């Protein structure tokens, strides 16, 4: 279980994360959603012992991230937002170094299994610098899963990936959930958060502004949106609680009206007045 209490982090005058609190039970896929600069990566860095909180505390399976960092490091796998593979080393060498750092037993067998999982076994002897962006993200995921961590942190895992590769990544995340792992992911892709997460916390300007299941969050703003482009080209949106209400509203408007289900971006816009992307 992960428990964060009033986590705060400042970079000089900038308050990157402000009094963020949440609890994540074992086996949950938990998403942190928000625009760039919302504090998602800083939160992940604090949870993964890379950054010390200025105040507040966080425990993972009862271990404090600052006082007992060593115990936590053996339980977590991290896919960082920025690719930190050694580009001049081969895929196999990258995983070998990581396996040794994390004291993985039966290294060759585990590395082979990890590379096969992400369909990179046939490229094991290629230098990472020759890999496409999608292959590098897959290798990062294989590396993070190599020590069989009980908690997996994915910081913008699918950023820059084409839709097909992104869906492959989602399948892998669902598989890790089935294996009983806790997954904490940050994303600014609405679809990703809705598809994968049991619960979603929305961050804005360093603050956690809401946290619930995707269904509850959407229901809280109204499940249907009636949209129309006005004469000045501006998108007009009206939130409705039921499909009947939405149809009734659309009937009274001119042509070019669409009705769609609400999504987490609508939640974000309602709460902050801003867009996520």
Partner 1 sequence: MIVAGWVPIFLREMLLFRRKLLRVGYLFSAMVTPIIYLIAFGLGLGNSVKMAGSDYLSYLIPGLVAMSSMNNSYTWVASGVNLNRLYFKTFQIFVQAPIHPSSILTGEVLAGMVKGLFASMLIIIVGLLTSSTFSLTGIFIATLILNCFLFANLGVITGMRTKSHEDTATYSNFFIMPMAFFCGTFFPVDRLPNFIKWIIYILPLTHTNVIMRKGSLDEEGLFSLGILAVYAVAFFIYGSRLIRKYSE
Residues at the site binding partner 1, with contacts judged by CB under 8 A: 45, 48-52, 70, 73-74, 76, 78, 80, 82-89, 93, 96-98, 100-103, 105
Backbone angles phi, psi at 98, to 5 degrees: -65, -40
Question: Least Å distance between CB 68 and partner 1?
Answer: 11
Question: Least Å distance between CB 141 and partner 1?
Answer: 14
Question: Least Å distance between CB 213 and partner 1?
Answer: 30
**Sign of torsion over alpha carbons 128, 132, 133, 135:** negative
For partner 1, the closer CB: 78 or 111: 78
**Sign of torsion over alpha carbons 217, 221, 225, 229:** negative
For partner 1, the closer CB: 55 or 213: 55
Give alpha helix (H) positions in the chain.
Answer: 40-47, 69-73, 91-101, 107-117, 133-145, 163-178, 190-196, 214-221, 243-251, 264-272
For partner 1, the closer CB: 105 or 275: 105
Question: Least Å distance between CB 139 and partner 1?
Answer: 13
Q: How many CB atoms lie within 10 A of CB 135?
A: 18
For partner 1, the closer CB: 206 or 222: 206
For partner 1, the closer CB: 45 or 123: 45
What single string gives the DSSP state of each residue in 176-192? HHHTT-EEEEEES-HHH
Question: Least Å distance between CB 50 and partner 1?
Answer: 5
For partner 1, the closer CB: 52 or 109: 52
Strands laid side by side in the 224-229 sheet: 235-240, 224-229, 257-261
Question: Least Å distance between CB 268 and partner 1?
Answer: 27
For partner 1, the closer CB: 102 or 270: 102
Within 13 Å and on the Cβ side, how many CA atoms surround 180? 3
DSSP state of 205: T
Backbone angles phi, psi at 121, to 5 degrees: -60, -35
Three-state DSSP class for residue 141: helix
**Do β-strands 151-155 and 76-79 pair in parallel, antiparallel, or remain unpaired?**
parallel
Question: Least Å distance between CB 103 and partner 1?
Answer: 5
């Amino acid at each position: 279980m992960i428990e964060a209490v009033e986590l705060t982090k400042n970079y000089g005058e900038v308050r990157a994360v402000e009094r963020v609190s949440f609890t994540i039970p074992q086996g949950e896929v938990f998403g942190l959603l928000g625009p760039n600069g919302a504090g998602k990566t800083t939160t992940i860095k604090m949870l993964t012992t890379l950054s010390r909180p200025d105040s507040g505390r966080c425990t993972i399976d009862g271990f404090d991230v600052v006082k007992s960092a060593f115990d936590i490091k053996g339980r977590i796998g991290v896919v960082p937002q920025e690719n930190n593979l050694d580009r001049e080393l081969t895929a196999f060498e990258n995983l070998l170094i990581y396996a040794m750092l994390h004291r993985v037993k039966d290294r060759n067998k585990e590395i082979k299994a990890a590379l096969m999982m992400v369909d990179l076994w046939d490229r094991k002897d290629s230098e990472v610098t020759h890999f496409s962006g999608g292959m590098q993200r897959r290798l990062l995921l294989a590396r993070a899963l190599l020590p069989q961590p009980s908690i997996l942190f994915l910081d913008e895992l699918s950023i820059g990936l084409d839709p097909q590769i992104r869906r492959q990544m989602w399948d892998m995340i669902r598989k890790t959930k089935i294996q009983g792992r806790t997954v904490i992911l940050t994303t600014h892709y609405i679809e990703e958060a809705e598809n994968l997460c049991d619960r979603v916390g929305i961050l804005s300007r360093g603050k956690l502004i809401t946290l619930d299941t995707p269904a509850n969050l959407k229901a809280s703003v109204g499940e249907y949106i009636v949209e129309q482009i006005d004469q000045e080209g501006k998108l007009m949106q009206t939130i409705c609680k039921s499909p009947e209400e939405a149809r009734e509203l659309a009937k009274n408007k001119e042509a070019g009206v669409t009705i769609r289900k609400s999504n987490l971006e609508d939640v974000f816009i309602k709460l902050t007045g801003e867009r996520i992307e």
